[in-house]
Amino acid sequence: MDRIDRLREEIARRESELADLKSQLAIAEAARTTPLEPKDDPSWPWPLRHDEYQRYGRQMVVPGFGLQAQLRLKRSSVLIVGAGGLGCPAAAYLAGAGIGTLGLVDADEVEASNLHRQIAHSTGREGMSKVLSAVTYLRDLNPTIRYKTHQEHLTPRNAQDIVSQYDLVLDCTDHPTSRYLISDICVLLSKPLVSASAFQTSGQLAVLNNPPGKGACYRCLFPKPPPPESVVGCGEGGIVGPVVGVMGVLQALEAIKLVVHGLLDKPAGDAEKVERPEQGQGQQRMLIFNAMGDGPSFRSVRLKGRRSGCLACSDESELTLDRLRTSIDYVQFCGVARPVDVLEPHERITAKEYDNVRSSGVPHLLLDVREREHFSIGSMPGAINVPISCFNRREELPEVAGKDGPIYVVCRLGNDSQLAVRKLRERGFDDGNRFVGDITGGVKAWRDTVDPRLPFL
């Protein structure tokens, strides 16, 4: 089995390297073999190339769209920050629609856990830069447009240089620090922003800073960031793939609407201008998506507009490009969730120490306080599932009541288990005659040090 595992790892590594080389080759070839534009070919009398009429014909014949909308798309540039669950579908539909220049920003690499929802990546490109993986996919979809890659995180130091190259920005990230930074730089550079989020089975979408200098920004909606301990990522809380796909597609649609309705003030040529919609401008709204609720899947709420005194976009704002680059610490502003540390060392044991307890045959209770979905995927031998939410709601704990012997509590990483131990003691389960404590590092530590076969997410 060891030899099989080594061979599989070697194959995966080489496939990743090959995919990386293919992507670099595609980028180099595209730069060298850009199709001849109509303006460079006197014998061609039409504003688009022959292949573009074939490629985009189905959307150009849509009433209210037409040739001028396609020309606007071709002359526009869009930046997607985040090549993950939102960025992949957004990029795919923008590339398919014929956006002239599509930029992607991301410093992460493709992981197996991405593949159920991040449709531009593949198993063969695990370990590859997400930006290069996405461009590899997009070039197969549409090799006729220009792709710009930024294999780095967007930071206060590089934000101006990157964002200034584009007409419009899509925030496809998943953390408050990124959202505030992206919104701020879009305000400073007068770029409309299409922002979306998705978590578990729900999502939100809003077009911000539109029109630039008049529309509300992200800080207007959320002047204060959420408490850091409340920010739960997909790894902990989960995400249903089509949910994030829906939100990414809607981001692409909003971007296309901004371009083809002429809201970016991009010239479409000497022909008749695209007719702009008469309603909805200046009325910013947030679209809320609920995939699995009993009510309507979509609902829309009206936003209040720019907030007086907003740090970024109000008339009194002192935010500048220099201050953003040198003085604003977005991590400090949003806070960092510190590991829970409420138990004394003698109230905790390691996974290996608990393994010795289990092997000794001493009667005891092992409570796994992860939510039922995590518990169902894989659990430690003999564990009883009592989710932490039961403790928080002060529900009765029949699994513990009337039982004798030590109580060991385990969670995913060793944070909730400490809180559960405290609550057990508050309820009197620690009568001074038995041990009530937790397992340091949680189920992950058990998997890493005792049983590597245990499934863990």
Token pair 């990230």 is at which residue? 173
Q: Residue 181: helix, strand or coil by DSSP?
A: helix
Is residue 88 flagged as an active site residue? no
Token pair 């074939």 is at which residue? 54
| 88 annotated among ligand-binding-site residues | no
Is residue 334 flagged as an active site residue? no
**Active-site position among 88, 172, 334, 411:** 411
| 114 annotated among ligand-binding-site residues | yes
| 346 annotated among ligand-binding-site residues | no
**Active-site position among 88, 172, 186, 234:** 234
Query: What separation, in Å, do the N-terminal and C-terminal C-alpha atoms of the chain show?
Result: 23
Structure tokens at 448: 């890493």
Q: Could you tell me if 108 and 84 are in contact, meaning their C-beta atoms sit under 8 angstroms apart? A: yes
Length of the chain: 457
> Would you list the DSSP string of 187-253?
HHTT--EEEEEEEBTEEEEEEES-STTTS--HHHH-SSPPPGGG---HHHH-B-HHHHHHHHHHHHH
| 334 annotated among ligand-binding-site residues | no
| 153 annotated among ligand-binding-site residues | no
| 106 annotated among ligand-binding-site residues | yes
Distance of alpha carbon 103 from alpha carbon 115, whole angstroms: 21
| 190 annotated among ligand-binding-site residues | no
| 121 annotated among ligand-binding-site residues | no
Residue 295 phi, psi dihedral angles, 5° rounding: -85, -165
CA dihedral (450, 451, 454, 457) positive or negative:
positive
| 186 annotated among ligand-binding-site residues | no
| 413 annotated among ligand-binding-site residues | no
Active site residues: 234, 411
Pick out the residues of the known binding site: 85, 106, 113-117, 130, 174-175, 217, 220, 310, 313
**Binding-site entries for ATP:** 85, 106, 113-117, 130, 174-175
Q: What are the binding residues for Zn(2+)?
A: 217, 220, 310, 313
